Amino acid sequence: MSWKRKVYYALSPRMRRLARRVYYYPLDLLEGLTGKRDTMIPPRGKIFIGPGDFKQLGEKLVSDCIQYGGLQPSHHVLDIGCGIGRIAVPLTGYLDAHGTYDGFDIVKEGIDWCRKKIGTRFPNFRFRHIDLKNDLYNLQTEHQASDFTFPYPDNSFDFIILTSVFTHMQPAGVNRYLHEISRVMKPSATCFATFFIIDEESAAFIKNSKDPFFKHEYAEYYLHDDKVKDANIAFKMTFINQMLSGAGLSIRNFHPGWWAGRNKQTQVDFQDVLILKKN
């Protein structure tokens, strides 16, 4: 593990976000004063959802949902772990008057920004803050993902998106979310979800790596850091299939990611992508 990552994990979730705001403050101030930043793009210091270009990554994820998941402009979309609007922003230009967007996240600052910058301009885009505990993002509550019921009726959505959500959740929480996803999906709906998946190929990659990203093996999953258990988690494919079956879901397509040594040019994403349907 790099020293930067060690320092990052040693901080509390609030301190991590504060450190980022301080680090990017000069650039954010300059871009704000000169008008160089699009009003639909959050300041760099407020982004907490991973590296890379915010706009380009959001546009690519929406493109992948269209190409591999069949996302349509008229769909009712649920974005689980919507962060600070990386997918919501490009969807404002894709969903039509019949389409709707609902997103929820456990980081209140991200939801506040989305409501102010997106929700006020697009009334068919709605955002909720859900106060759940997570080692990486929120330690200010004892509410657990494993007990959470999505605040939406049965059979509400045509398309559900989770990008880099199940990679930061413990098994009980993932299992609960899969059951809730199945409940709120329409019979013909699709779920586009990313994981770190351990199959024979990725297990061999980890075994043969001099410094594997996932060092700590448990019965059903691997962890990157056994002290910050929600930091990065990889599930064994047999366990994923078991959870999906119990939730009434099945894999329509599996697109392995390039995290496990595969060719970046031929894979859909860094993480593994599962396209899920109701049984």
pLDDT in tens, 78-118: 999 999 999 999 999 999 999 999 999 999 999 999 999 99
pLDDT band at 60 (very low <50, low <70, confident <90, very high): very high
pTM: 0.93
pLDDT in tens, 162-191: 999 999 999 999 999 999 999 999 999 999
The residues spanned by each domain of the chain are 49-278
Residue among 159, 176, 162, 175 nearest 235 (CA): 175
From the options 3.30.70.260, 3.40.30.10, 3.40.50.150, 1.20.58.1290, give the CATH code of 49-278. 3.40.50.150
b (16+ CB within 10 A) / e for 141-165 = eeeebeebebebeeebbbbbbbbbb
- Looking from the CA of 80 toward its CB, the CA atoms found within 13 Å total 31
pLDDT in tens, 120-165: 999 999 999 999 988 878 888 899 999 999 999 999 999 999 999 9
Is pLDDT above 70 for 8? no
Helices (H), the chain: 3-10, 13-34, 54-69, 88-91, 108-114, 171-184, 200-208, 237-247
The whole-number pLDDT of residue 228 equals 81
The whole-number pLDDT of residue 17 equals 84
Count Cβ atoms within 10 A of the Cβ of residue 183 and give its class: 0-12 exposed, 13-18 middle, 19 or more buried.
middle
Residue type, 253: N
Q: Say how many C-beta atoms besides its own lie within 10 A of residue 131's C-beta.
A: 12
* Residue 23 near residue 150 (C-beta atoms within 8 A): no
Is pLDDT above 90 for 226? no
Residue that has been written with the tokens 């980022």 in this structure: 20
